[in-house]
Structure 1
Amino acid sequence: MPPPTAGNAWLAGRRFGIVIDAGSSGSRLQIYSWRDPRFVLADKGDELANTLPKVEKGTRDGEGWVKKAEPGISSFADHLHDIPGYLRPLLAHARDLIPPKLQAETPLYFLATAGMRLLTPEQQANILRETCNFFVYHSHFKIDVSSAAGPCGSSVRIITGEEEGLFGWIAVNYLMDGFSSSSTKHTTYGFLDMGGASTQIAFEPSNTYQKDKSDLINVRLRLLGGKEIQHRVFVATWLGYGTNQAREKYVGVAINEFEESRHGDGDNDVVADPCLPKHLELTETPVHVGSASDHAKKTHRLIGTGSFEECMQKSSPLLNNNAPCPDTPCLMNGIHVPPIDFSVSHFIGVSEYWFSSEHVFGLGGPYNFVEYERAASKFCSMEWDDIVRQHERSQHSGDGEVENKDGQVVEVGKWGPQVELSRLSMQCFKAAWIANVLHEGIGMPRIVDFGGNSTSNDNEVAEQAEEKGLGRPTFQSVDTVGDIAISWTLGKMVLVASSEVPPLKNAKPIVDPIDDVPESETSPITPIRPFSMEALENRISPHLPYSLTRPSLGFSPVILLYILVMLVLILITWPLWRRLRPVFRRSLRRLTRRDVDTYSLEEGISLNGNGHYRGAFSTPPSPRKKWHPFQKLIPKARPVSRSSSRTRRPSSLNLAHPLVSGEVSLKRESPVRSNSFPSINVSSSSSSGNTSPLPSPDHDLEVSGSLYHSRSRNGSQVNLNSVIMPRTISRVNSEHSFAD
């Protein structure tokens, strides 16, 4: 799809932004767009001065603005070279949709979440570096320079669960007009998010609590008119309180209780489970076991009894509401949360809150506990075979009806193609867990209508909430507002678009709330920072006088200090190295000597157990001169008789090379150093008998630049037609001959 043309009216004054949500299962690229604030002010300045920039999908027709790649980038920790190929389709998709002339001013953000948080700091840093290099060298999009956040600053980094909740809070209030300064009748919306592993809450506490509280995040946004609005938000995350991990804990507790109450050691490992539809049988192996019993760690069969009320009772203790509370007030698991006035604060739930309410029960939107409980009870009590039959029918017709054994139609909502059997098997537990978190965990009041709500719709629930003095529904699950899905990526883009609005006066730039904390030690959110020099600087700078910081000096004092320390170390170690260098050189010579000795062994010369030389001759080298096979070859030899197959030499002979029968003399043609390999031309006479005369002193051993490459390894005789000389540089400057 080609990018928009310059003549496109929709493109006039259009700004773009890219966010890549790098999750554990995949990376999803989303392109957003908004009109330049200056164009908006010129057209409708007074009318829109008190609103935020309108962030939309990045394409005019709303199609193709999302592109996904699988698997998650965290899976490339051990093969970083595959990252460019993984990111290339995402980048190509963005380049195809955004006009080339606008790419240089289009910010690109690669923000990693759950999967990357599980890696080691070294693996995180490697992946971020490779990702940063790819975007810098293969695109023209706007990317931050290196900082404490990472190699590409805030453009490529890992965000925390609290940051996800904070961005989600911005997205919810942006879409629900919670930031409109013209409204004075309500506060901002609270934000609830639940996934498979964790759940988050983000809301703006009352004004009485906000005074002198350091556990709040300051969120700054700039309206189109230039006015800046601020909100102080509390964010908390409960790890292990998502639906999947809560289910694992529940199974472990259920099996442990079954083992404690069982009698005898029978093989009947069947556990009744009220959180499964009737007669659904699952085989489960406990992950979280609170008992030391070995049998409790084995696989058990769980058979559903289908009781929603009993499921809520059994799963409620998993909230751990009785945990110690170091800073009151606390909610689940002893986590401090400011008091929530539900008559003023109203919450929006996304992700699992929406899926469990809408996809199966058809109750997404304003929440009514009575209606929700009635639908959940009916579903849990259904036979599993009927649910499977209804699922098969709904995939074709979508009628959403199922008949029980008595022929009665039970309305359970329309199950679309997005509803799988795995969702239906866990729906009873997930519905109970969500209700427990809302009411027992967070403390949200139940809206009770004694007249019943079986026929009420969303508008009636909202009217009932208004009559009860709640103003708006206390809680509602939402997936999209208009045609834009509620996502933390949208909240990130709202911040970016807001930062481009010109201020009324000199003001601090609009940045991410986590980067807007003057002292990182006092921030309620600890950012994820792979180790770097910038991170070291950020840790040291707060303890330095202002005159020694980067803003005052214009450069990094930490880097300068690092350079000075390295220079001092070099100045200290250099004299020491000069003293130690001879020691290393002598050690190196000893190692070379060992190599030479090994070479001599291959030439027929070896050492005996006492360290003496043996071979064709058993006499060691002359003690008057240092023996080395690369220096003087062989002094003059005397005739010696052979009484056996072994030939003995006088003790005065130099054993650089074995002697042979014949008369030899050594000559060096030139005193100049030569790198060539000399060869030995020998004239010898054969002899018979037990004795063999040695060479005559009148005969010479001629040395030339050629080399013979064969030799005899016979211990009693050495063939002079194949003598190999060692590769060396000759240092002999005089002519050598044999003397008595």
Structure 2
Amino acid sequence: MGRLQDQQLSENLLNSVQEFIKTYPFNLQGARILTGQDEGAFGWITINYLMGNFLGDSRRVHATLGALDLGGASTQITFVPDEKIELEESSLYFRLYGKNYNIYTHSYLCYGKDQAHKMILDKLNVLNDGTISNPCFNRGYTKVINATAFFDTPCISRQSRPHQQLTISGTGDSVQCSQLINKIFDFTSCNWTSCAFNGVYQPPLQGQFGAFSAYYFVMNFLNLTKDGPHDLDEVKKAADRFCSMPWVQVKNVFSVDEKYLSEYCFSGHYILTLLQNGYNFTSTNWKAIEFVGKIKGNDAGWTLGYMLNLTNMIPAELPYTRPLTHTSYLTVMVIFSIVLFILLLVGFLIFKKKLCRLENKM
């Protein structure tokens, strides 16, 4: 987000961070700001590496999981499609363990959870007293914000605001909340054979998906990560049920920090809108999504994938493996030695017997 606002400032900050790290006993090879496409690709590598999918059946490249990542500022979707990718800039090629992967990936800046929340608030009308009624907050919840600081983001167009302080008042209306969230998307524009939203090309969805980061935290809060997978109607009912609870009841039931607790109504409906209307998941393939926090004790996210790629820990070709382990090799050698000894002993006894017969004849 910082680079979008001031690239020179971002570069200066990055240089300062590098100089600071060099004061410690690390062999720093450099630092850079990852692109959204990198983030999506490394998230895809992480979950498939942890699931062991890269060492599966070499004939089934579609056995990989697609990756759905939702952060605060951006969101990414990455998967191996069934058809040729029409847009070259949305395609990345990897050769891993002797298999070729041509993946589709796209990153949507400003459609992370936090920035999307700011965008929907910007769509609401401000009353003369500086009050905003927000259907995505629970009924009875109020929050006072500094308008200049809160809306200081490149995701929202600059405009003068008559009130420096705004009071947000929740109404807890799921229908209105969903309608409001839809306003920050464009679901109609498309110059390709298929699109996601805002006119962005996306091939038809393919295979299973792992959804992590904010996806997991929100679904876990709504109790939708266990005893699953849960169908789309269950998810909608869970989000509606939470949104309909008065704020007084919410505070009594859940022991969660108020900042996060107040936003779960919005977050639940935002995820539903993004996945269903944005990425084209339906009631038919909704259960293809698994919301994951950890895989085999490791956090799902882009960081491990970045490290694996940077250190070349995933080879392009299948690594050479000995036919036998050391223990198996020793076992075979012992058995071979015993058999050889027996054969030599039998041969010696046969030879000795023949020799004795020859001596008797003489």
Name the TM tier (shorter chain).
0.7 to 0.9
Distance in 2, Cα, partners of 1:387 & 1:187 = 41
> 1:215-256 CA deviation, whole Å, 9 max, x = no partner?
41111223xxxxx2120112211111111111111111112x
Distance in 2, Cα, partners of 1:190 & 1:474 = 10
Distance in 2, Cα, partners of 1:320 & 1:204 = 25
Q: Is the 8 A contact 1:196 1:242 kept in 2?
A: yes
> 1:91-128 CA deviation, whole Å, 9 max, x = no partner?
xxxxxxxxxxxxxxxxxxxxxxx667865265156336
Distance 1:174 1:303, change over 3 A: same
- The alpha-carbon deviation at position 129 of structure 1 amounts to 5.3
1:178 has 2:53 as partner:
yes
Distance in 2, Cα, partners of 1:493 & 1:126 = 21
> 1:478-514 CA deviation, whole Å, 9 max, x = no partner?
011121111222213433222397867xxxxxxxxxx
Q: SS of the counterpart of 2:260? A: helix
AA at the equivalent of 1:156: A
AA at the equivalent of 1:318: I
| Counterpart among 19, 23, 26 of residue 130 in structure 1 | 19
Distance 1:198 1:214, change over 3 A: closer
1:304 has 2:120 as partner:
no
- The alpha-carbon deviation at position 369 of structure 1 amounts to 1.7
Q: SS of the counterpart of 2:32? A: strand
Equivalent residues in 2 for 1:168-317, closer than 5 Å = 168-182=43-57, 186-206=62-82, 208-210=83-85, 213=88, 215-222=90-97, 228-255=98-125, 267-284=128-145, 285=147, 287=151, 295=162, 298-317=164-183
AA at the equivalent of 2:94: V
- The alpha-carbon deviation at position 294 of structure 1 amounts to 5.2
Distance in 1, Cα, partners of 2:291 & 2:194 = 26
Equivalent residues in 2 for 1:358-369, closer than 5 Å = 358=220, 360-364=221-225, 366-369=229-232
AA at the equivalent of 2:200: I
Q: What is the Cα-based RMSD across aligned positions, in Å?
A: 3.2
Distance in 1, Cα, partners of 2:156 & 2:79 = 35
Q: Is the 8 A contact 1:216 1:235 kept in 2?
A: yes
TM-score under structure 1 length normalisation = 0.38
Q: Is the 8 A contact 2:95 2:317 kept in 1?
A: no
Equivalent residues in 2 for 1:593-672, closer than 5 Å = none
Q: Is the 8 A contact 2:87 2:201 kept in 1?
A: no
AA at the equivalent of 1:333: N
Distance in 2, Cα, partners of 1:503 & 1:176 = 18
Distance 1:175 1:122, change over 3 A: closer
Aligned partner of 1:443 in structure 2 is: 280
AA at the equivalent of 2:315: S
AA at the equivalent of 1:336: Y
Q: SS of the counterpart of 2:103? A: strand
Equivalent residues in 2 for 1:697-716, closer than 5 Å = none
Q: Is the 8 A contact 2:178 2:269 kept in 1?
A: yes
- The alpha-carbon deviation at position 271 of structure 1 amounts to 3.3
Q: Is the 8 A contact 1:319 1:333 kept in 2?
A: yes
Aligned partner of 2:259 in structure 1 is: 422
1:475 has 2:289 as partner:
yes
Distance in 2, Cα, partners of 1:116 & 1:291 = 17
Aligned partner of 1:340 in structure 2 is: 204
Q: Is the 8 A contact 1:192 1:200 kept in 2?
A: yes
1:162 has 2:37 as partner:
yes
Q: Is the 8 A contact 1:173 1:189 kept in 2?
A: yes
Aligned partner of 1:357 in structure 2 is: 219
Q: SS of the counterpart of 1:473? A: helix
Distance in 2, Cα, partners of 1:424 & 1:481 = 26
AA at the equivalent of 2:78: A
Aligned partner of 2:268 in structure 1 is: 431
Equivalent residues in 2 for 1:582-593, closer than 5 Å = none
> 1:326-381 CA deviation, whole Å, 9 max, x = no partner?
555332222222x223xx422111111001110x2111263422111111111111
| Counterpart among 353, 357, 376 of residue 239 in structure 2 | 376
Distance in 1, Cα, partners of 2:277 & 2:194 = 14
- The alpha-carbon deviation at position 441 of structure 1 amounts to 0.7
Distance 1:183 1:363, change over 3 A: farther
Distance 1:386 1:115, change over 3 A: same
Q: SS of the counterpart of 1:439? A: helix
| Counterpart among 465, 490, 497 of residue 313 in structure 2 | 497
- The alpha-carbon deviation at position 131 of structure 1 amounts to 5.5
Rg (Cα) greater in structure? 1
- The alpha-carbon deviation at position 317 of structure 1 amounts to 1.5
Distance in 1, Cα, partners of 2:319 & 2:250 = 58
Distance in 1, Cα, partners of 2:86 & 2:130 = 56
> 1:7-53 CA deviation, whole Å, 9 max, x = no partner?
xxxxxxxxxxxxxxxxxxxxxxxxxxxxxxxxxxxxxxxxxxxxxxx
> 1:150-209 CA deviation, whole Å, 9 max, x = no partner?
xx3xx5333222111111101111223332332756532111111111111111121x31
Distance in 1, Cα, partners of 2:287 & 2:58 = 17
Distance in 2, Cα, partners of 1:242 & 1:305 = 23
Distance in 2, Cα, partners of 1:362 & 1:177 = 27
Distance in 2, Cα, partners of 1:500 & 1:443 = 33
Which one scores higher on RCO, CA 8 angstroms, separation ≥ 6?
2
> 1:432-480 CA deviation, whole Å, 9 max, x = no partner?
1111000111111025xxxxxxxxxxxxxxxxxxxxxx6x932121011
Distance in 2, Cα, partners of 1:234 & 1:289 = 28
> 1:43-92 CA deviation, whole Å, 9 max, x = no partner?
xxxxxxxxxxxxxxxxxxxxxxxxxxxxxxxxxxxxxxxxxxxxxxxxxx
> Whose helix proportion is higher, 1 or 2?
2
AA at the equivalent of 1:498: I
AA at the equivalent of 2:247: W
Listed as ranges, the gaps of 5+ residues in structure 1 are: 1-113, 144-151, 223-227, 260-266, 395-418, 448-469, 505-740
Aligned partner of 1:58 in structure 2 is: none
- The alpha-carbon deviation at position 431 of structure 1 amounts to 0.8
AA at the equivalent of 1:169: W
- The alpha-carbon deviation at position 272 of structure 1 amounts to 2.7
Task: Count the aligned residue pairs.
Answer: 307
Distance 1:129 1:247, change over 3 A: closer
Q: SS of the counterpart of 1:332? A: coil
Indicate the larger mover: 360-369 or 437-446.
360-369
Distance 1:169 1:269, change over 3 A: same
